[in-house]
Amino acid sequence: MTTLPTRRIQIEGAYNVRDLGGYETTDGRYTKWKMFIRGDDVSTLPRSSQDVLTDFGVRTVIDLRGVREIDSQEDNVLSKLPHIRYCNVDIVGDMPLPFQPNITGHKAPKSYRNMLDLCGDKFRDTLATMAETDALPVLFHCVGGQDRTGLVSAILLGLVGVPNETIAEDYTLTAEYRIDAYLGSNLQPDTDPAQYTSEAYRARNCPPDVMLDTLDYLEERYGGVEGYVKSFGLTDEQIATLLDALLT
């Protein structure tokens, strides 16, 4: 019996690990399963979860976190596995970018625009690593698997023509999975449970309108996702490699 691929990869030690496969493009093609995996913090996975990723075929792990985020932990287990190439591409670095919610308590679209404009070389480096020989399948992650990872995912999906609405839906899936982390470790006894629903998480942290605004911005300023990555030096050959890897 053949087991069908699933979006979420449920493993102990992480909440938001999922496959970018199975999304339909505007020309009727589909993104490949088991090639590009997005995730939240996977640096302290137990051995059983490491084995799941090994069985999945992961060859490269791209850690999008900053040096201080990495150094704050005692261990980074995937960086020590001999059969996995570990790369750190610190997307944000020391830049004081405004990632905080705005005065209404919701994420401001401008934060993603700033990240894309000011850190384009880091997004280029991330995609260039993915385009290297024998890099795939790849797992890329940050802390929550939402902002930095969400933008890399949006760039990949936009590059192959997945509709903006679908990309925004993929972005908001974080609310379905990361809410488990809040319920499991962050829920305080005197906290209103209504604040800890996936709907509340989505509205505050990953509303679809924020991603739609971001994609519109890339279209207006750079002529689209491909124009954006080319503007920061990703080559036609690298783009062709990614397209071939992403599409069935």
Per DSSP (E only), the strands in the chain are 18-19, 36-39, 60-63, 85-88, 138-141
Count of residues in the chain: 248
pTM attached to this predicted model: 0.91
Residues in Cβ contact with 117 at an 8 Å cutoff, skipping those fewer than 6 apart: 221
Q: What is the CATH number of the domain that holds 64?
A: 3.90.190.10
Structural domain includes residue 120? yes
Residue 3: inside a domain, yes or no? Answer: no
Give residues with Cβ within 8 angstroms of 145, minimum separation 6: 15, 16, 17, 38, 39, 40, 41, 174, 177, 178
Highest mean pLDDT among 41-45, 113-117, 158-162: 158-162
What six digits make up the tokens of 55?
């069985």
Give the count of domains, the chain.
Answer: 1
> 104: pLDDT confidence band, cut at 50, 70 and 90?
very low
Residue 145, judged by CB atoms within 10 A of its CB (0-12, 13-18, 19+), counts as: buried
Which range marks the domain in which residue 184 is found? 18-239
Q: Half-sphere exposure of residue 235, counting CA atoms within 13 Å on the CB side?
A: 8
The 3-state DSSP class for residue 11 equals coil
In a domain, 248, yes or no: no
* pLDDT, tens only, 17-51: 999 999 999 999 999 999 999 999 999 999 999 99
- Assigned domain for 42 exists: yes
Position 246 in a domain: no
